[in-house]
Homo-oligomer: A and B are copies of this chain.
């Protein structure tokens, strides 16, 4: 069996992944552009932080070695360890730029079969070595960074070697897919079958199916099936207590759903190795439109009407004035609602007209020139969306805090939530950094009963104190969300960074149940310690 990813062989070698920042090295902004960008933010540093070379950095010595039987899977090369030290949150990027590699894993393991996953877990369980499952490392919540300081060693288990679509059931529109496949390679393998998973998170290029499943990722689409959860038929998960393979059926009422325990388990209960996923026919009909609103609250009411209409737009993204201006979709202090509809087999113009009509009925002004302008607006926004993390990294180099967080709450609380977050964050930034923050908001997903607002904060920080300052801002955000009964995350997962908010919102009996489940499946306590739950006290190391 040829184990090379078809997509990789078709497209030639991929550009090198950045070890410190988002995506690939070739797309990082050069120093001059970083400086130009920084100049737009009052109080930003005048020169970019240099990108350190890995060879120049102090990395702790590797404390463990794998047994010879696993030797071919593991690496202690500095570039592997450096690239697997952090996720890609703002605070991760800044720490990497400052050359702090203290949390580096001792080893990076790259299994290419499920058997090899099992072998690594077996060894690690006996050797008191923590295992951090690692898809493509796009976590923005400390999900792949070991911090427990309790184990004899730490292995980052990079799963991107499990990168193939193994089976396609065209009749049922489903496929059995290995969990380490990256978004583009997954879609490349489905395209010849006329099918798509149609799950496009912002991290699409640099995240894996298994990562999406483990973190309950949200896709690009705004309504109906927003999270990957709903696209799962069944999963295979390697736990230290055995392989968990759920039944592949379209629906079941037989006890609590096994998959729902592993969806969102973030590598704490097992390693997802493959899944049967529900697919869709590739859309042949698409249309989009942009509608402008003078007031954000008016726009919220329009979006609510749309979300409760049963029309299920593929896209229903509301940008507040700041967000709309940044994305060059709207100017003049107006909010912009980007609507999109798609269908494989049926024309969509009628549905789009209904949606625009609803928006107009609720005070919206559709973009004047119809299809072409609307498509341009949507396209402009999409390019900006994908470029955003690279701009974030460029700003980080200018000591500008540029970070996002997201949440969800019901419609009755939404206007208050958005207002409170804006006010509290601006106040905290002023107090913490002494500068004025830009706090923008968009809705990324909408439901009949509520929506998921996504906030962007940009503010100059004091060089050298960026992480501490951001942590203060984030703590204030978490406090507001908790006080108003909004979730600490709609689709970025919990990891280690969201633990305070998660611990507050998680019901205590469920915490007991989850802890008991983890103890049953991972008795040695090696799987991603500190994520979701506090690491269990160590038994005597036996390895």
Q: Which residues of A contact B (CB under 8 A)?
A: 169, 171-174, 215-218, 226-227, 233, 237, 239, 241-258, 260-266, 269-270, 278, 280-281, 304, 308-310, 343-346, 354, 408-412, 445, 447-452, 485-494, 498, 501-502, 505-510, 512-517, 519-521, 532
Chain B residues whose C-beta falls within 8 Å of the C-beta of A216 in the assembled complex = 253
A-B contact pairs, 10 of them (CB 8 A): A217-B253, A233-B449, A241-B509, A246-B507, A249-B486, A250-B450, A255-B264, A256-B260, A512-B517, A513-B520
Which residue in chain B gives the minimum CB-CB distance to A236? B507
Chain B residues whose C-beta falls within 8 Å of the C-beta of A264 in the assembled complex = 253-257
List 13 other contacts, CB 8 Å, given A244-B507, A255-B265, A346-B354.
A171-B304, A215-B253, A226-B251, A241-B509, A243-B509, A247-B485, A248-B410, A251-B450, A252-B490, A261-B261, A270-B509, A514-B517, A516-B519
A344 and B358 CA atoms in complex are apart in Å by 14
A226 and B250 CA atoms in complex are apart in Å by 11
Q: CB within 8 A of A169: which of B241, B252, B412, B494?
A: B412
- Contact A253–B516 (Cβ < 8 Å): no
A510 and B254 CA atoms in complex are apart in Å by 13
A526 and B155 CA atoms in complex are apart in Å by 42
- Contact A410–B233 (Cβ < 8 Å): yes
A269 and B410 CA atoms in complex are apart in Å by 28
**Closest beta carbon of chain B to A517's beta carbon, Å:** 4
> Most chain-B CB neighbours within 10 Å: which of A256, A264, A343?
A256
Given A244-B509, A520-B512, also A254-B447 (CB < 8 A): no
Given A172-B412, A173-B449, A449-B172, also A509-B492 (CB < 8 A): no
Given A448-B280, A517-B516, also A410-B217 (CB < 8 A): no
- Contact A502–B254 (Cβ < 8 Å): yes
Q: CB within 8 A of A309: which of B256, B265, B309, B346?
A: B346
A516 and B265 CA atoms in complex are apart in Å by 16
A310 and B264 CA atoms in complex are apart in Å by 27
Given A409-B249, A515-B520, A516-B520, also A310-B343 (CB < 8 A): yes
- Contact B237–A509 (Cβ < 8 Å): yes
- Contact A450–B249 (Cβ < 8 Å): yes
**Closest beta carbon of chain B to A520's beta carbon, Å:** 4
- Contact A346–B250 (Cβ < 8 Å): no
A346 and B311 CA atoms in complex are apart in Å by 10
A248 and B507 CA atoms in complex are apart in Å by 12
> Most chain-B CB neighbours within 10 Å: which of A244, A254, A498, A507?
A254
**Closest beta carbon of chain B to A215's beta carbon, Å:** 7
Chain B residues whose C-beta falls within 8 Å of the C-beta of A257 in the assembled complex = 260, 263-264
Chain B residues whose C-beta falls within 8 Å of the C-beta of A412 in the assembled complex = 169, 171-172
**CB-CB nearest 9 A-B residue pairs:** A250-B450, A260-B260, A513-B517, A516-B516, A250-B447, A516-B520, A258-B510, A244-B509, A216-B253
- Contact A263–B254 (Cβ < 8 Å): no
A242 and B354 CA atoms in complex are apart in Å by 48
Chain B residues whose C-beta falls within 8 Å of the C-beta of A242 in the assembled complex = 508-509
- Contact A227–B253 (Cβ < 8 Å): yes
> Most chain-B CB neighbours within 10 Å: which of A173, A249, A517?
A249
**Closest beta carbon of chain B to A225's beta carbon, Å:** 10
**Closest beta carbon of chain B to A444's beta carbon, Å:** 10
- Contact B252–A263 (Cβ < 8 Å): no
A452 and B257 CA atoms in complex are apart in Å by 17
> Most chain-B CB neighbours within 10 Å: which of A227, A450, A519?
A450
- Contact B262–A256 (Cβ < 8 Å): yes
Chain B residues whose C-beta falls within 8 Å of the C-beta of A521 in the assembled complex = 509, 512-513
A410 and B304 CA atoms in complex are apart in Å by 35
Which residue in chain B gives the minimum CB-CB distance to A230? B230
